[in-house]
Amino acid sequence: MNFIIFYLTYPIILLFSRLPMAMLYLISDFFFVLLYYVFGYRKKVILKNLNLAFPEKSTEEKHKITKAFYRHFTDIIVESIKAFTISEKEMLKRYKYSNPELINKYANEGRSIALVGAHLANWEWSCSMPLVTDIKCFGAYTTLNNKYFEKAIRNTRERFGFTGYKTSETVQKLKKNIENDVQGLYLLLSDQSPELRKTFYWNSFFNVKVPIHTGAEMLSKKFDFVVINYVVTKIKRGFFEVDFQLITDNPKQYKNYEITDLYTKITEENIRKQPEYYLWSHNRFKHKNRFKEWQERYESKQQTKS
């Protein structure tokens, strides 16, 4: 059944991918009307997130952000489809890197890099990063139920030189690279909510106490990776600029979770600059009332280990 679904839909996706961007944005406008006005896709989640993140904003302001988010969200969908066939020239025209020299400086020094980022503006086109960097680029991906679509999407994200691996295999693949003296840049989007059973740390994000991913910090300290944040700014429809921001090139000098806190602060600041382009449909604050429950479980596990 998965193969049949793939066989019937994949050719359509490729056909749409070859359309000019102007036509794809007309399709995006159509789906915006459906998602925003007809189906109200995850609208309750989006408004709940905005109410928590921006209590100082008026209802009118938050509804304005919501509407702009839907317009951007459907654009992201068609831009992701375009990634299947977009040329290098068009990609670099639309997705510009303002300072790849920061990445290349550490790459040429022989350092590996933990590149952290958020689901802001357009993260899908970051697959073009190997076109402007002097280092092997690796990125984790979430497995899909349909293995045929998973392979197709992985191939798309590897078109420009990225190497993909399953999220569950991140540490294993990274250790293997270290053992084989393979220098690399590891893209780690760390802004979404981790599973409670995999949580080690909580802190404030938009003044809400939530569990936070700490993998990038743990890996950078263990393997002495440079930690760099990347932020994507939407210049106009279909055009983006990527800026790399150094967090630290000496991670071992930081106390536990200080690097995570720096990343979280930077991410919040960048989202506040363009809130309509953040992935508010993700239920980021779903665990906000479960800190005590998590703390009790965590302390119980620590006592059992000791």
Q: What are phi and psi of 131, to 5 degrees?
A: -70, -20
pTM above 0.85, yes or no: yes
The 3-state DSSP class for residue 68 equals helix
- Side-by-side strand order, sheet with 226-236: 95-97, 239-248, 226-236, 113-117, 185-189, 137-141, 163-166
User: Which residues have a Cβ under 8 Å from the Cβ of 162 and sit 6 or more positions away?
Assistant: 127, 129, 130, 137, 138, 139, 187
Rounded to 5°, the CA angle 48-49-55 comes to 85
**C-beta atoms surrounding 23 within 10 Å:** 12
What is the residue-level pLDDT of the chain in tens, covering all 306 positions? 788 888 889 999 999 999 999 999 999 999 999 999 999 999 999 999 999 999 999 999 999 999 999 999 999 999 999 999 999 999 999 999 999 999 999 999 999 999 999 999 999 999 999 999 999 999 887 777 888 888 888 888 899 999 988 888 888 888 999 999 999 999 999 898 888 888 999 999 999 999 999 999 999 999 999 999 999 999 999 999 999 999 999 999 999 999 999 999 999 999 999 999 999 999 999 999 999 889 888 888 777 776
Q: Residue 246 pairs with which residues in a beta bridge?
A: 228
Of 210, 218, 205, 149, nearest in space to 1 by CA? 149
Which class for 179: exposed (0-12), middle (13-18), buried (19 or more C-beta within 10 A)? Answer: exposed
E runs forming strands in 154-201: 163-166, 185-189
The radius of gyration of the chain from alpha carbons, rounded to an integer in Å, stands at 20
